[in-house]
Structure 1
Amino acid sequence: MKQSLYLKQAQKLTMTPQLKQAIKLLELPIIDLDTKIREELENNIMLEKSNIEFEQNDKININKDLEKNQLEWTQTNNKKNNSEENIESTLSSSITLRDHLMWQLEMEKISEKKIFIGKVIIDSLNDDGYLNESFSTIKNILGPETNIQDREIENILEIIQNLDPVGVGARSIIECISLQLDRIDKKTPGIKLAIEINKNYFNLFTQKKISKIKDLLMVSDDDLRQAILLIKSCNPHPGLSVSNQITQYAIPDVFVKRINNNWVVELNNSLVPKIKINNLYAESINSIQEHKALKMQLQEAHWLIKSLNIRNQTLAKVAINIVERQKAFLEKGEEYMNPMIMKQVASDVDVHESTISRIASNKYMHTPRGTYQFKYFFSSNLEGKKGGTSSIAIKAKIKKIINNENPNSPLSDTSISDRLHLNGIKIARRTVAKYREDMKIEPSSKRKATRWQ
């Protein structure tokens, strides 16, 4: 075999640093974008904050005839001094369940050894406040050299179960409810019956077999009703009443509002620092050939500003297209959501489908109906007599049908499917069941109302 060298010409797409940066910025939600820009301001001497808005064409006007059910769209930057529309990145924090229990335990007049045992028990609680670890596991954590007995752990657990929130430290939901019922005044009507139901008939209670409980206990309707209300007043997740998470509110990347019958789309740039080239440094390096590092920073600064402008323009175009397609939803609600896929939007705004996916994954849109992720507006299409229907719209119709059903005779999935067929929506029973489960709605057998509920 003879070896030889030859040239071959071919075309291929190369991922340049500029393109990588533009894609990365497009993926970032507004909070992360703010962090990214602040980091660049600290690291790149050629950048500085600007007191004016981004240097770009901030207004996109599409004038159409309103009488033909078309809209005028305006995209502007959200002004920082507009307090009504400016949503700050508010974080509310609170102490953890562990901290809440530890300071109470330390207030108890007990020995250091008992506090040590209590600490291990508290560390073993899950977020709901339940103790899932066995005593043998707790003894292994404490160490064999401590020679702790089960009774000692039981005594400390009883102390923890008397702390706030009531019900914490339980080893089962029955024990959790029992701890809470024990705190109720024994003179309260129905308390004794509630304790007995929780202890001996809890499975029947969870299965909503109220009539069977009544027959077994031979009690009146009023007594049973009072007992059930007491059980339902208990919190099965006591640990969650003490927040162990930092609540972070979604910050909209886009605001949508209606002004004089026109839908207005605004980018939320109020949280993002405005940047520009530092002309003082930029001009000074033009005459100095040796400053290669500074020249590289200047080039990166230009790339960043250009990438930010591309990000804003692309985000605005996608938001405008979504709002234009989902006008009926914005005006009338979920039942009027139109089916929409990413390929359609990508074709309209002339970008790749992957670009739409990046935007939809972690961006939020604030509308008069609430704040939604971009991806919420994309849904599958179910064909029917009246054309395609969005899966979101069908879920809303199913929910409406169930909310309006006779509570004493709930509709089966088949009956719901038949009703949707009458409205021109062809949907199988199993699809109705799937959508109902997605909305966490119980089947008809469990929705049946009782006079005690």
Structure 2
Amino acid sequence: MKATVRLNTVQGVNLTPQLLQSIRLLQLTAPQLEQELRQTLERNPLLEHDEAAEDAESAADADAATIEAAAWDELPEPSFLSGGGSIGDDDATLRIADPASSDPRVRLLQQLALHWDAPGLELASWWLDHCDDHGYLEQPLAELLALGAQAFPQRIDDLALVRQRLLHGEWPGMAATDAGECLRAQLAAQPDSAARALAARILAQHLELLAAHDDAALASALAAEPEQVRAAVALILTLRPHPAEAPAQIEDTHVVPDVVAWHAGGSWRVALNRHTTPRVRIAPHCERALASNGSDHAVLRGLLDEARWLVRGLAMRSDTLLRTAQVLVERQRGFLERGDEAIVPLTLREVAEAIGMHESTVSRIVSGKYIQTPRGTLELKRLFAVRLEGAEIGGAAVRAMVKRLIDAEPVAAPLADDVIAGLLARQGVRIARRTVAKYRDQLSIGPARSRQRVAHAIAC
């Protein structure tokens, strides 16, 4: 057997740490990038916010606000904007709901004010002032009753009664002395059952065994079956450990656009949203100090290199995002001006060729990014469209055409899929009947016979 040496040449890309970081920055969304920069600023002392750039942007915002304020003077009176019909000085801002207080005691008092009288609210407020944020009494009950007797000498009996009303009221367990009393109050509000009766015995006599999760010992102490004990324990586990209710959390579904596009002077303009564009720089005094110290401070020099890579990566991200958005707006200006039917076929490869980058780079930069337009805030991916085979139009435009024809069809004679295909053919769009059916399904629109039945039912 003869050994041979063969030389092959292979072309590839060496993914350096700098390149990997740049690629990762491209695909980060605005919230992810903000978190990334916050962590990096805490870790790397050589980086700082670019306050000069932020001040310039603030000045630009002030100029824009002045223009908007001048334009506001030309608008109708606020009564017209709020729908009209009201007489007198009606400030629309007064009708904006205040956010829920973070203090549970304030929220509970607001609820009690709907059906409690003033004397009861006064005593309830006193009890709640002596509760912690979880709803438990901050001092022993005997001490608080003594203090209450001094504050309300003529209403000692009412004071104890109000605490019981709080304990078994809107938030069961409020103003409880300990966790056991809190859980017992919540349990009393549950429907009557064998499991509730057994759970009450556990809370009253065997809290230690419950905390130890010793179901066998509980069954022996209560002379009950293990299944009954498990059911009672399961009921206890559904109770809240603290009586104070947390405020309802409203999910933030707002989308902050990364790019803004607007029409002015007969052309479309594109700019990065300054509120989502990070502004960081290398601290000048740190860079000068390291430059004058020769080869010392190897750790700091590593941090300096990291800072330089980050600043360059952010600049590359902003430049790539802006150039990509400019191409998308330029190619889809018909869609922005006239709507879905004017959207043209556009692929990642076409945009990549226009900006001189690889299509994988375009895919990363448009992922999770949004653009604000006069037609609404859209995901950048929304401006891409797949070309129909053998046609110069995209599927999104055809789907919009199908919707327009169905919306305008006679109520008594809905259009069948083959009729819609024929009407589109007259407009130069030749697609099969099954393609019409596919787009109709995507629009959640039923076939002609079901639409006819619905129209007949409405007429009857």
Q: TM-score range by the shorter chain?
A: 0.5 to 0.7
**Cα shift at 1:245:** 5.6
- In structure 2, the partner of 1:266 is 271
CA 349–78 in structure 1, closer or farther in 2 if over 3 Å, else same: farther
**Is 2:411 aligned against 1:407?**
yes
CA distance in 1, matches of 2:457, 2:8: 82
| Equivalent pair of 2:259/2:273 in contact (CA under 8 Å) | yes
Q: CA offsets per residue over residues 261-304 of structure 1, 9 Å max, x none? A: 12110111223441111121122223153311100111111111
Q: How does 1:24-423 map to 2 (within 5 A)?
A: 24-53=24-53, 80-81=61-62, 82=64, 107=170, 112-113=186-187, 115=189, 144-145=228-229, 246-286=251-291, 287=293, 289-383=295-389, 387-423=391-427
1:307-354 Cα deviation digits (max 9, x unpaired): 111111111111111111111111111111111111111111111111
1:358-393 per-residue CA deviation (whole Å, 9 max, x = no partner) reads 122211111111111111111111256xx5111111
Any conservation in 2 of the 1:77–1:269 contact (CA below 8 Å)?
no
In 1, the alpha carbon distance for the partners of 2:5 and 2:425 equals 69
Give the structure 2 partner of residue 12 of structure 1. Answer: 12
The corresponding residue for 2:429 is 425
Residue 318 of structure 2 aligns to which amino acid in structure 1?
A: N
C-alpha distance in structure 2 between counterparts of 1:334 and 1:5, whole Å: 61
1:265/1:316 contact within 8 Å kept: yes
CA distance in 1, matches of 2:429, 2:337: 22
Shift of 1:94: 8.7
Alpha-carbon separation, structure 2, partners of 1:37 and 1:80: 23
SS of the counterpart of 1:266?
strand
Deviates more, 1:242-251 or 1:264-273: 242-251
Distance, in Å, in 1 between the alignment partners of 2:320 and 2:185 is 65
Assess if the C-alpha contact under 8 Å between 2:324 and 2:351 holds in 1.
yes
Distance 1:289 1:339 in 2: 56
Structure (1/2) with the larger helix percentage: 2
**Counterpart Cα distance in 2 of 1:415 and 1:365:** 37
Q: Which amino acid in the other structure matches residue 428 of structure 1? A: A
Structure 1 contact 408–450 (Cα < 8 Å) conserved: yes
Distance (whole Å) between structure 2 residues aligned to residue 424 and residue 332 of structure 1: 19
User: In structure 1, the residue corresponding to 2:458 is in which secondary structure?
Assistant: coil
Counterpart of 1:389, as a letter, is I
Residue by residue over 1:22-49, the C-alpha shift from the partner in whole angstroms, topping out at 9 and shown as x without a partner, is: 1111111222222222222111111111
Alignment CA distance shift 1:93-1:293 (3 Å): farther
SS of the residue 2:388 aligns to? strand
Percent of residue pairs bearing the same amino acid type: 33
Report how far residue 112 of structure 1 moved.
Answer: 4.1
Distance in 1, matches of 2:228 and 2:42, equals 54
Count residues with an aligned counterpart: 304
The residue that corresponds to 1:185 in the other structure is none
> Which one-letter code corresponds to 2:286 in the other structure?
Y
State the structure with more CA Rg: 2
Cα distance change of structure 1 residues 347 and 272 upon mapping to structure 2, 3 Å threshold: closer
CA distance in 2: counterparts of 1:78 and 1:414, whole angstroms: 59
Q: Which amino acid aligns with 1:107?
A: E
Taking a change above 3 Å as real, the CA distance of residues 374 and 147 of structure 1, as seen in their structure-2 partners, is: closer
Closer, same or farther: CA 421–16 of 1 in aligned 2, 3 Å: same
SS at match of 1:41: helix
Please report the RMSD computed on the Cα atoms of aligned residues, expressed in angstroms. Answer: 3.8
Structure 2 Cα separation of the partners of residues 397 and 243 of structure 1: 43
SS of 1:362's partner is: coil
Report the 3-state secondary structure (helix = DSSP H, G, I; strand = E; otherwise coil) of the residue aligned with 2:260: strand
Contact 2:262 2:268 in 1 (8 A): yes
User: CA contact under 8 A between 1:78 and 1:267: conserved in structure 2?
Assistant: no
- Tell me if the contact between 1:93 and 1:245 (Cα under 8 Å) persists in the aligned partners: no
Structure 2: gaps of 5 or more residues: 69-97, 102-106, 113-167, 173-183, 196-225, 236-246
Change (3 A) 1:143 1:305: farther
For residues 352 and 318 of structure 2, what CA distance do their matches in structure 1 show?
A: 16
What amino acid does structure 1 have at the position aligned with 2:418? T
Once residues 32 and 420 of structure 1 are traced to their aligned partners in structure 2, the CA distance between those partners, rounded to angstroms, is: 44
TM-score, structure 1 as length reference: 0.59
Superposed CA offset, 1:154-206 (max 9, x none): xxxxxxxxxxxxxxxxxxxxxxxxxxxxxxxxxxxxxxxxxxxxxxxxxxxxx
Which amino acid is 2:290 matched to?
I
The 10-residue stretch of structure 1 (28-37 or 293-302) with the greater mean CA deviation from structure 2: 28-37
* Residues in 1 aligned to 2:21 and 2:60: alpha-carbon distance in whole angstroms: 26
- C-alpha displacement at 1:10, in angstroms? 4.8
CA contact (8 A) 1:80 1:270 kept: no
Question: 1:144–1:348: structure 2 CA closer, same or farther, 3 Å change rule?
Answer: same
Which one-letter code corresponds to 1:336 in the other structure? A
User: Bigger relative contact order, structure 1 or 2, given CA contacts below 8 A and separation 6+?
Assistant: 1
State the shift of 1:419 in Å.
1.1
Q: What SS class does the counterpart of residue 248 from structure 1 fall into?
A: coil
